[in-house]
Chain A
Amino acid sequence: MNPQETAVSEISEPCIKLENVNKTYSGVSAPAVKDLSLEVAQGEIMVLVGPSGCGKSTTLRLINRMIEPTSGRIIYEGEDVTKGDPNELRRRMGYVIQQVGLFPHRTIAENIATVPKLLKWPKAKVNARVDELLEMVSMDPSIYRDRYPKELSGGQAQRVGVARALGADPDVLLMDEPFGAIDPITRDRLQNEFLRLQEELKKTIVFVTHDIDEAVKMGDRIAILRDQSEIAQLDKPEVILTDPADSFVENFLGSGAILKTLTLRRVRDIELSQPVIIKRSTNRSDAILALHDSYFPYAVLLDDHDHPIAWVDERALNRSDSLDRSGASITVQLQPEDTLQDALSGMLQTAAGMSAVVNGRGQYLGTCTIESLASMLIAQPNGASA
């Protein structure tokens, strides 16, 4: 693979560019960030991930000059923003931090309206924007507009945090471990909602996390950083997972790197198996014959609406019970959008080693087996590009 192709994303020209940026704190001899060059393409989520103290947060804060670089240049949308008013720059970039930092003495609406008001938007436009943003983050404006931050749960507060960062519709969002302080279940939901939002918004996002799983899930590209913000590897998640650049990256990914690729692939990406289909009306002896000819030792029983009901094998067919009760009933169903990780956990849960895949209306599409998953993982290393 040509390294130049992967180093610079092919989407479009960079939105944010750091050129040989250094940051040395006064009184500390070793730089916190050393000669870092990084390009973030328009509309991508670039995840900065690394062990704590590697300088990933510092790097993020250099972009909106919350920390001033000691040397080097920061280019934003083709314009050198290293000098000039940092406040002007920050108003053009959304900023989300782990602690959210909502203004406790301002209502939710006033919080979200912060940057639009700084930019002196007319009042009607600000109000319309607040409602639009609240709806965007799935919070009912009529309920939450006039509430105060103390009335929100952690997850709700961070939704408002994201809405506030999007206030004046900036092209860029800088997110510093935004979901780091949220319980795992809510975090997962917020991540999914955020990814769905991003599909619409197509913002350029720089996302800092220490959690490699979050990086793999959120990133279009991932920069794995080591000490002094040195880029150990910068690439698409599937490439990093299957082809780590060195032992540092390998260690950082941990032992489950191959398993993590399961979260990148979806059920629709693998070829579904097609065992014999039988219906209630099917003659039993025909079914047994079909099963003999089939590669699979079982068949799928569908109801009149093509909804899968049960797995039936020859023994079940030979029994005199009604077909419904003779097989192993299908409790877990997958949809094409589910990740392969969902698929695997579904199969392990039922101990069936296979799972029925259905479309949005619950109609049977095919079967996903543990063998097809395994063969995909084993075949993967070189054919990583989706």
Chain B
Amino acid sequence: MSTAVVTPQQGSAASLPSRRNLKMTQLDLIVTPIFFVLLALLLAVVWVYSDFDRTTTSILEPSRLWTQFKQQIYLALWSTALVIVLAIPLGILVTREGAPRLKNNLVSLLGLGQAIPAYGLIVLFFVAFGQGSFTVILALATFALLPVLRNTIVGLEQVDQSVIEAGKGMGLTSVQRLRKIELPLAVPVIMAGIRTATVINVGMATLAYLIGGGGLGETIAAGLKNGRPTAIFVGAVLVALIALALDFLGGLAQRYLKPKGLA
């Protein structure tokens, strides 16, 4: 702990570290939009100046692209939502007193799960649950569970024990300690996990076409099959744009949900 005495005059100096930190998050929130705009411009240039033959035109039919675009977002958001609903309560549960063994087993099990290629995972789920977007969402959620679960566990465990001890000593119940101390202090780490999961899910949703889940994977696959690089490029860039946009929104949320007073 710093021994420097904060006098009223030094008050503004004392808030300097937090200002520096703010700048770093601002940097994060500026670079992503710049990339987004550059990519979008590139996409527009390619769209306008490429030669569209009949095949390409039919693959890149705007109304179909728009449907796939919406499907891609739909799949990514719902699978992320499922991850949040599953992984955070699970992370809370395994960090409660009396469940330490379970925690390590769970993390290594999910680590193994991530070692299976996403392609294989989706096919496995197809065998079990049949085709359709529900199966895709389930598969994506399984794949992206680990980052959120791990960050929830780490986020809760990095909370200064003396803070929890003080809360307990003042008569906060275990639920109050979780709600008022542990979770707020774990928010930045948990949010980082959610951002990672979102980006993974946007990318992986590209594989949804394999089992009839739709999404921009259809365009990319069609481009590959027909040897149309422009179609591949358009599909891939649209996926990247969605990932960048959602990551940016995650960054905003991370910034505004982070409790005040943290360095």
Interface residues on chain A, number (Cβ under 8 Å): 42
**Proximity string of chain B (2-13) to chain A, C-beta cutoff 8 Å, 1 when within and 0 when not:** 111110100100
A181 contacts partner chain B, Cβ-Cβ < 8 Å: yes
Of the stretches B28-36, B99-107, B144-152, B160-168, the one at the interface is B160-168
* A104, B163: Cβ atoms closer than 8 Å: yes
* A100, B162: Cβ atoms closer than 8 Å: yes
**B14 contacts across to A, CB distance below 8 A:** 151
A87 and B172 in contact, given A105-B185, A156-B5 (Cβ under 8 angstroms): yes
B: residues with CB less than 8 A from A are 1-6, 8, 11, 14-15, 18, 160, 162-173, 176, 180-181, 184-185, 259-263
Give the shortest distance, in Å, between A110 (CB) and chain B (any CB).
9
**B263 contacts across to A, CB distance below 8 A:** 150
> Max chain A CB contacts within 10 Å: which of B1, B14, B173, B184?
B1
Can you list 24 pairs linking A and B with CB atoms under 8 Å apart? A66-B165, A86-B171, A88-B171, A89-B171, A91-B170, A95-B170, A97-B162, A97-B165, A97-B166, A97-B169, A101-B162, A102-B163, A103-B167, A103-B180, A104-B185, A104-B261, A118-B170, A150-B18, A153-B1, A153-B5, A161-B166, A165-B170, A167-B170, A174-B169
* A154, B1: Cβ atoms closer than 8 Å: yes
| CB-contact partner of A148 in B4, B160, B261, under 8 A | B261
| CB-contact partner of B184 in A99, A100, A105, A151, under 8 A | A105
Give the shortest distance, in Å, between A101 (CB) and chain B (any CB).
3
Give the shortest distance, in Å, between A297 (CB) and chain B (any CB).
47
Tell me the bound Cα distance from A148 to B18 in angstroms.
Answer: 11
> Max chain A CB contacts within 10 Å: which of B160, B166, B185?
B166
Tell me the bound Cα distance from A103 to B259 in angstroms.
Answer: 11
Tell me the bound Cα distance from A349 to B141 in angstroms.
Answer: 75
A101 and B11 in contact, given A118-B171, A156-B6, A181-B1 (Cβ under 8 angstroms): no
A106 contacts partner chain B, Cβ-Cβ < 8 Å: yes
Give the shortest distance, in Å, between A280 (CB) and chain B (any CB).
44
**B168 contacts across to A, CB distance below 8 A:** 66, 90
**B185 contacts across to A, CB distance below 8 A:** 104-105
A198 contacts partner chain B, Cβ-Cβ < 8 Å: no
Give the shortest distance, in Å, between A90 (CB) and chain B (any CB).
4
**A105 contacts across to B, CB distance below 8 A:** 184-185, 259-262
Q: In A140-175, which residues have CB < 8 Å from any B CB?
A: 143, 147-157, 161, 164-165, 167, 174
Q: In A67-91, which residues have CB < 8 Å from any B CB?
A: 86-91
Give the shortest distance, in Å, between A202 (CB) and chain B (any CB).
22
* B170, A103: Cβ atoms closer than 8 Å: no
A209 contacts partner chain B, Cβ-Cβ < 8 Å: no
* A157, B1: Cβ atoms closer than 8 Å: yes
Tell me the bound Cα distance from A86 to B174 in angstroms.
Answer: 11
Tell me the bound Cα distance from A149 to B260 in angstroms.
Answer: 11
Give the shortest distance, in Å, between B80 (CB) and chain A (any CB).
25
Given A97-B169, A114-B170, A157-B1, list of 12 further CB < 8 A pairs?
A: A97-B166, A99-B160, A100-B162, A101-B167, A105-B185, A115-B170, A118-B170, A118-B172, A143-B8, A149-B261, A150-B261, A161-B166
Across the two chains, which residue of chain A brings its CB closest to B159? Answer: A104
A64 contacts partner chain B, Cβ-Cβ < 8 Å: yes
**B163 contacts across to A, CB distance below 8 A:** 101-104
Tell me the bound Cα distance from A52 to B163 in angstroms.
Answer: 23
**A89 contacts across to B, CB distance below 8 A:** 171
